[in-house]
Amino acid sequence: MNQDKPARPHDSWSDAPTQDGSESVQQQDSEHGIGLSRPGDETTWTTLDRILTTALVISPPAELSARLVRIPPPVIARHRLLGERLLELALLLMVVLGAIGLSTVVSGLAMGLLWPGVLDVLQAAPLLLDSPLATYYQSLVSTLLEALATLLLIGLALTRPRRGLSPGQPRPSGQS
Amino acid sequence: MAEPSPELVQRAQAGDPAAWRQLIEEQQNYVYSIAVSLLKRPEDAADLTQEVFLRLCQVIGSFRGETRFTTWLYRLVVNLGLDSLRRRGRWKEAALGDAETFDVPDGDPLVDPALIADRRETALRVREVLNELPTAYRLALTLYYFRELRYEEIASVLNLPLNTVKAHLRRGRLALARRLAVTQAEEVS
């Protein structure tokens, strides 16, 4: 609550010309001889400012306050948070799968190119690397990655914040 | 100033009941004051206040912190209030940019309002006189005084040009002073 705040300096009340006819206000002020910056009027306007500051803040009735605090916290926001966490998990899973798939290929290349001697010794290794199982695993990983990427795109499209009017903002003219 | 901290707003957005309650408690006076300023009748203002917080519950997730939270909230109050006025057929009051035809009574506006009565009674009288002003003046004065919003923020809340807001404030204050003077003169005679 800021009821005790000092009144504002009111020299700003007449600080700018206006486009909408307020020049006539200045003129009107002069006609009545009550220019706001006239010396000696300062106290009066300051008092008015103070009274206005006090008068304009109105406490709601107790019954209304009780009704307001019973309004439940936003649930939509909680759902939104859950959706964002699920998306994060999906991203993480995608990265892990990608890393596994990549490491399989890299380790295969490394073993095939850098350590041929070792492969000669471990005769079973080439059989494993060239086996239909490894190919199947690689294709499975790439399929999963594609599926997750698709789901991720759909998720992003659904949870992307709407751009445009603010809540409650009146629509452009011609629409109700 | 009762500008809520970003942390409080974020917690409320996440559905934290304590933060949500604190936000309501901190803002209800201001929301209700704007509602009264718009609709005049306390019952209508109470309905609007409740509608605002119910709506806030639905849309708070879309607040991105691009403006001050209070500016964003007061814009919501004003827009819902104007919708309410239009639904009730009070189109003239809902036209915030069109208040130039308001008749300001003659009288010495420089009477010292402190002489009218004691503080509390004066506040009540000021509210009565405020209710006679056009909605645009009343609303601009309310936003200016009780939250110390900047001109630009008031213009943003009311969706009006900056110069129109300045004119509304100047004229509203002048009209208020004159009406208070007239009221006092009537009492004396």
For residues B124-143, average pLDDT: 83
Q: How far is CA B42 from the centre of its chain?
A: 13
**Phi and psi for B88 in degrees, rounded to 5?**
-85, 0
What are the pLDDT tens digits along chain A (176 aa)?
444 433 443 434 443 333 343 333 333 333 333 333 333 466 667 777 777 777 777 888 898 999 898 888 887 555 666 777 788 888 888 888 888 877 777 776 666 666 666 666 667 666 766 777 777 888 888 899 999 999 988 888 887 655 444 444 444 444 33
B111 vs A13, B166, B174, CA distance in Å? 19, 23, 12
Residues of A in contact with B61 (CB under 8 A): 74, 76-77, 80
Q: Whole-angstrom Cα distance, residue A56 to residue A47?
A: 14
> Is B62 an interface residue toward A (CB < 8 Å)?
yes
Chain B positions touching A60 (Cβ under 8 A) are 28-29, 32, 46, 49
| DSSP characters over A88-144 | HHHHHHHHHHHHHHHHHHHHHHHHHHT-HHHHHHSTHHHHHHTSHHHHHHHHHHHHH
How far is Cα B8 from Cα B5, in angstroms, rounded to an integer?
Answer: 5
Find the Cα–Cα–Cα–Cα dihedral B74, B76, B80, B82, rounded to 10°: 60
Dist CA B24 CA A65 (whole Å) = 9
Q: Residue A25 and residue B171: Cβ atoms within 8 Å?
A: yes
CB contact under 8 A, B49 and A64: yes
**Which of B57, B79, B141 faces A52 most closely, judged by CB atoms?**
B141
Question: How far apart, in whole angstroms, are the C-alpha atoms of residue B187 and residue B117?
Answer: 11
- Count of C-beta atoms within a 10 Å radius of residue B24: 21
The torsion angle over the Cα atoms of residues A87, A90, A91 and A92, rounded to 10 degrees, is 120
Tokens of A56: 């304009």
B176 contacts B133 by C-beta, under 8 angstroms: yes
Contacts of A53 in chain B (CB under 8 A): 145-146
Q: Which of B14, B28, B37 is nearest residue A77 as measured by Cβ atoms? A: B14
Out of A25, A29, A68, closest to residue B24 by CB: A68
Classified as helix, coil or strand, B169 is: helix
pLDDT at B50: 93
Neighbours of A62 (CB within 10 A): 8
Q: Which residues of B touch A15 (CB under 8 A)?
A: 166
Confidence of residue B105 (pLDDT cuts 50, 70, 90): very low
Is B4 part of the contact surface with chain A (CB cutoff 8 Å)? no
Average pLDDT, integer, range B164-176: 87
pLDDT for A76: 57
Cα separation, B157 vs B173, in Å, equals 19
Using alpha carbons only, what angle is made at residue A68 by residues A66 and A69, rounded to the nearest 5 degrees? 70
Does B152 score more than 50 pLDDT? yes
Q: pTM, whole model, 2 decimals? A: 0.56
Question: Quick one: tokens of A47?
Answer: 């008092």
- Model confidence over B17-72: pLDDT tens digits? 999 999 999 999 889 988 988 888 888 899 999 999 999 988 888 888 888 898 89
Q: Which of A17, A67, A81 is nearest residue B50 as measured by Cβ atoms?
A: A67
Q: Best mutation site among A56, A76, A171 for testing chain B: the one with the most B CBs within 10 Å?
A: A56
Which residue, among B26, B44, B174, B1, has the nearest Cα to A52 in the 3D structure? Answer: B174
Residues 6+ apart with CB under 8 A from B122: A51, A55, B113, B114, B116
Residue of A nearest to B121 (CA): A55
Alpha-carbon gap, residue B123 to B103, rounded angstroms: 23
Q: Do A25 and B174 touch (CB under 8 A)?
A: yes
d(CA B36, CA B38): 5
Residues B129, B132: Cα–Cα separation, whole Å: 5
- Give me the helix-helix angle, B135-146 and B162-188, nearest 10°: 100
What is the distance between the alpha carbons of residues A108 and A40, in angstroms, rounded to a whole number? 92
Identify which of A32, A41, A73 has the shortest CB distance to residue B20: A73
DSSP for B68-125? -HHHHHHHHHHHHHHHHHHHTT-HHHH-TT--TTPPPPPS-TTS-GGGTS-HHHHHHH
pLDDT at residue A4, as a whole number: 40
Q: From the CA of A159, how many Å to the nearest CA of chain B?
A: 11
CB contact under 8 Å between A20 and B17, yes or no, is no
